[in-house]
């Protein structure tokens, strides 16, 4: 790698700003307004389910031009790992809190990571144009959660914004520029480019692709890249807008296409002038065991008496795949658990259907990805079920339903009532006539009985005849006394408890 420590090569670099907050608090809408695009309209269910990077150029009031890279992260609980990675890549964090909703669980989760990472941050209170917005209450809610904003006993910068009207947006961008100047972020123009991979997927036309953020140096066409144990030649570069460019410098989003395998998201990527150097880096990574996974397919481990639902998961990106697997791992039931036999990025193909056929009863979950026509045809002919989803909670709901319907049913004993024996009238062989009182539930003719003495079972029996006030009765309710003819080999005594039991399927 080229390296030059001359101060003349180290220059200020634009900030990478992570946008974090609870689902539906207006993160994407704020970036949408800034970019004058329509991000939220393209997201399934109106929610962000991927990490996205956008570069913004703005003309400041002082006439200078500033550049800011925004990272938009999902707010849904399932995408916790994606948010965490976003925070690790960012230079500045923006904590989004809706003025009409206040602090929520994901707000606190992100705040915790921001504080642990010691990231400089500011608070943006969104949706202030809504009649239901209460900025004062929101600031109080933040204070109760340990975030003391300016004017409320603290020094955390706070801006009130509306993605609908544009209120406060320029002040918001000015605040980011101010924090960036105070933090004095810098990069070396003479370094080979390096950064962090934030997302990866399989491009059906071009192959394995990844999105990264350049954190230092320059990435140029003709170089070679390595991330984890993956490598690639950089034959062309795409910027944040998917335009082909000759080079990209620090803080810019970069699209790298042509990896030999899916690079690990969250890992650093480096660029090299020689292919051999990139391959050596990847080889050293593999040898250090960083890519080692003792449970590579994410298999749920079965225990005795527990069944499993075999799943094949396909997703559009590595981040989505990670989130789906994480959520599915939380869905185990008492007698059945989800077992991932295959998980990969890309569309559902014939090989996925064949893998499902190799493990009878398997189903395929396709998240945000296509189903090849050949795969659909084979699945229809063979009866393999493929369930496509665009929203993660719909996927988890369906998986929960599948687990419930396939959970093994077992026969268990249920107690419908109990009675205390008051008096024993006669005994003839295995038949005993006695008087008793129902303590709980009810006792019915034909019930099988557990005979309990001092809380221990001493035998079994069955009610052959049942009477109340010397009149035959089909059953006797709680609190009533009755006479009964019990068939049992066990000698029953006053004070014993008779529990009426039946076998039910659960």
Structure-block tokens of residue 119: 């990231």
- Residue with the larger pLDDT of the pair 434 and 265: 434
Same-domain pairing of 256 and 201 = yes
What is the sign, positive or negative, of the torsion defined by CA atoms of 109, 183, 272, 213?
A: positive
CB 196 within 8 A of CB 269: yes
Q: How confident is the model at residue 43 (pLDDT cuts 50, 70, 90)?
A: very low
Higher-pLDDT residue of 295 and 341 is 341
- Position 274 pLDDT exceeds 60: yes
Q: State the Cα–Cα distance between residues 188 and 11, nearest whole angstrom.
A: 7
pLDDT above 60: residue 77:
no
Around Cβ 404, how many Cβ atoms within 10 Å? 11
Specify whether 197 is located in the same domain as 177. Answer: no
Number of helices (H), then strands (E), in the chain: 11, 30
Backbone angles phi, psi at 356, to 5 degrees: -65, -40
CB 502 within 8 A of CB 448: yes
Instruction: Assign residue 400 the CATH number of its domain.
Output: 3.40.50.10050
Q: Is the confidence at residue 82, as pLDDT, over 90?
A: no
Residue 296 is assigned to a structural domain of this protein: no
| Domain CATH number, residue 274 | 2.40.30.10
User: Each residue of 337-352: pLDDT tens digit?
Assistant: 899 999 988 899 999 9
- Same domain, yes or no, for 402 and 421? no
Residue 302 resides in a domain? no
Chain segment 314-334, per-residue pLDDT in tens = 998 888 888 888 889 888 887
3-state helix, strand, coil split of the chain in percent (to 5) is 25, 40, 35
Name the residue with higher pLDDT: 273 or 146: 273
How many domains does one find in the chain?
A: 4
**Using 50, 70 and 90 to split pLDDT, how confident is the model at 111?**
confident
Which residues form the domain of 387? 307-406
Q: How far apart are CA 431 and CA 488, in angstroms?
A: 6
* C-beta of residue 168 within 8 angstroms of C-beta of residue 128: yes
Which helix (H) or strand (E) covers residue 336, if one does?
A: strand 336-345
Last residue of a domain, one of 185, 209, 240: 185
The verdict on 166 and 31 lying in the same domain is: yes
Q: Where are the beta strands (DSSP E) in 222-281?
A: 224-227, 230-233, 237-238, 244-245, 247-249, 253-259, 268-272
- Please tell me what DSSP assigns to residue 112: H
Statement: residue 136 has pLDDT above 60: yes
Predicted local distance difference test score (pLDDT) of residue 49: 42
Burial class of residue 464 (count of CB atoms within 10 Å of its CB; 0-12, 13-18, 19+):
middle
Residue 294, in any domain of the structure: no
* Burial of residue 383 (number of CB atoms within 10 Å: 0-12, 13-18, 19+): exposed
**Do 180 and 204 fall within a single domain?**
no
449 confidence band (pLDDT: 50, 70, 90): very high
CA 280 to chain centre: 35
Pairing assessment for the beta strands 253-259 and 431-444 based on DSSP bridges:
unpaired
Q: Which two tokens stand for residue 373?
A: 């026509």
- Least confident residue range of 24-28, 46-50, 177-181, 369-373: 46-50
474: Cα within 13 Å, side-chain hemisphere = 0
The answer to whether 237 and 212 are in contact (CB under 8 A) is: no
- Distance between CA atoms of 291 and 225, rounded to whole angstroms? 17
The mean pLDDT of the chain is 85
**Same structural domain, 368 and 421:** no
Residue 313 and residue 362 in contact, taking contact as beta carbons nearer than 8 Å: no
At 104, which CATH number?
A: 3.40.50.300
Whether residue 225 sits in one domain with residue 142: no
For residues 378 and 293, which has the higher predicted lDDT (pLDDT)?
378
* Inter-axis angle of helices 392-406 and 318-328, nearest 10: 40
User: 10 or 42: which carries more pLDDT confidence?
Assistant: 10
Same-domain status, 311 and 437: no
Give the pLDDT of residue 101.
86
Instruction: Let me know whether 469 and 489 are in one domain.
Output: yes
Main-chain phi, psi angles of 143, to 5 degrees: -60, -40
At residue 84, the pLDDT reads: 58
Q: Is residue 439 part of a domain?
A: yes
The average pLDDT across 231-242 equals 89
Q: Are residues 228 and 136 in the same domain?
A: no
Please name the residue that has the structure tokens 């230092």.
Answer: 216
Structure tokens at 322: 């990670």
Instruction: For residues 255-269, give the mean pLDDT.
Output: 90
Residue 116: DSSP 8-state: H
3-state secondary structure of 252: coil
In a domain, 298, yes or no: no
DSSP category for residue 154? B
Cβ partners under 8 Å of residue 394, min gap 6: none
Distance CA 221, CA 2 (A): 16
Task: Assess whether 240 and 381 both reside in one domain.
Answer: no
- Asked whether residue 167 carries a pLDDT value surpassing 50, the answer given is yes
What pLDDT is recorded for position 146? Answer: 87
Radius of gyration of the chain measured on its C-alpha atoms: 33
Q: Give the Cα-Cα-Cα angle 16, 288, 258 (nearest 5 degrees).
A: 55
Give the per-residue pLDDT at 71. Answer: 83
């Amino acid at each position: 790698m080229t390296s030059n420590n001359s101060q003349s090569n180290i220059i200020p670099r634009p900030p990478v700003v992570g946008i974090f907050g609870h689902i539906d608090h207006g993160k994407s809408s704020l970036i949408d307004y800034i970019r004058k695009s329509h991000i939220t309209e393209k997201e399934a269910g109106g929610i962000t389910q991927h990490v996205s990077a956008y570069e913004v150029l703005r003309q400041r009031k002082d006439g200078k031009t500033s550049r800011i890279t925004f990272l938009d992260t999902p707010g849904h609980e399932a995408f916790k790992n994606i948010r965490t990675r976003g925070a690790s890549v960012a230079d500045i964090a923006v904590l989004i809190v809706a003025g009409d909703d206040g602090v929520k669980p994901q707000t606190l989760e992100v705040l915790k990571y921001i504080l642990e990472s010691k990231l400089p941050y500011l608070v943006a209170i969104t949706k202030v144009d809504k009649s239901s917005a209460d900025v004062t209450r929101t600031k109080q809610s933040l204070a109760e959660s340990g975030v003391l904003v300016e004017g409320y006993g603290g020094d955390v910068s706070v801006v009130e914004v509306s993605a609908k009207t544009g209120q406060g947006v320029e002040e918001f961008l000015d605040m980011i520029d101010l924090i960036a100047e105070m933090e004095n972020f810098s990069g070396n123009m003479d370094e080979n480019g390096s950064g962090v991979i934030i997302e990866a997927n399989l491009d059906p036309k071009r192959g394995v692709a990844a999105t990264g953020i350049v954190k230092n140096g320059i990435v140029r066409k003709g170089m070679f890249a390595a991330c984890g144990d993956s490598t690639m030649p950089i034959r062309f570069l795409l910027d944040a807008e998917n335009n082909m460019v000759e080079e990209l410098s620090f803080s810019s989003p970069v699209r790298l296409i042509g990896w030999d395998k899916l690079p690990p998201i969250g890992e650093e990527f480096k660029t090299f002038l020689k292919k051999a150097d990139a391959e050596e880096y990847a080889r050293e990574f593999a040898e250090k065991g960083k890519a080692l996974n003792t449970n590579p397919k994410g298999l749920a481990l079965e225990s005795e008496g527990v069944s499993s639902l075999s799943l094949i998961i396909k997703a559009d990106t590595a981040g989505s795949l990670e989130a789906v697997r994480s959520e599915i791992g939380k869905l185990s039931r008492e007698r059945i658990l989800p077992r991932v036999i295959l998980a990969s990025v890309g569309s559902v193909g014939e090989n996925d259907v064949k893998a499902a056929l190799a493990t009878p009863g398997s189903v395929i979950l396709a998240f945000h990805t296509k189903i090849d026509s050949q795969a659909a045809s084979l699945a229809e002919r063979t009866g393999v079920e493929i369930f496509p989803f665009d929203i993660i909670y719909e996927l988890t709901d369906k998986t929960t339903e599948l687990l419930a319907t396939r959970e093994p049913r077992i026969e268990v004993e249920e107690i419908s009532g109990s009675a205390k024996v008051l008096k024993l009238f006669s005994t003839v062989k295995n038949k005993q006539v006695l008087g008793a009182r129902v303590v709980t539930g009810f006792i019915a003719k034909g019930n099988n009985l557990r005979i309990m003495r001092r809380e221990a079972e001493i035998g079994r029996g069955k009610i052959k005849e049942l009477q109340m006030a010397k009149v035959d009765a089909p059953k006797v309710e709680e609190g009533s006394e009755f006479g009964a003819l019990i068939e049992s080999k066990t000698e029953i005594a006053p004070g014993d408890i008779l529990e009426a039991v039946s076998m039910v399927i659960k």
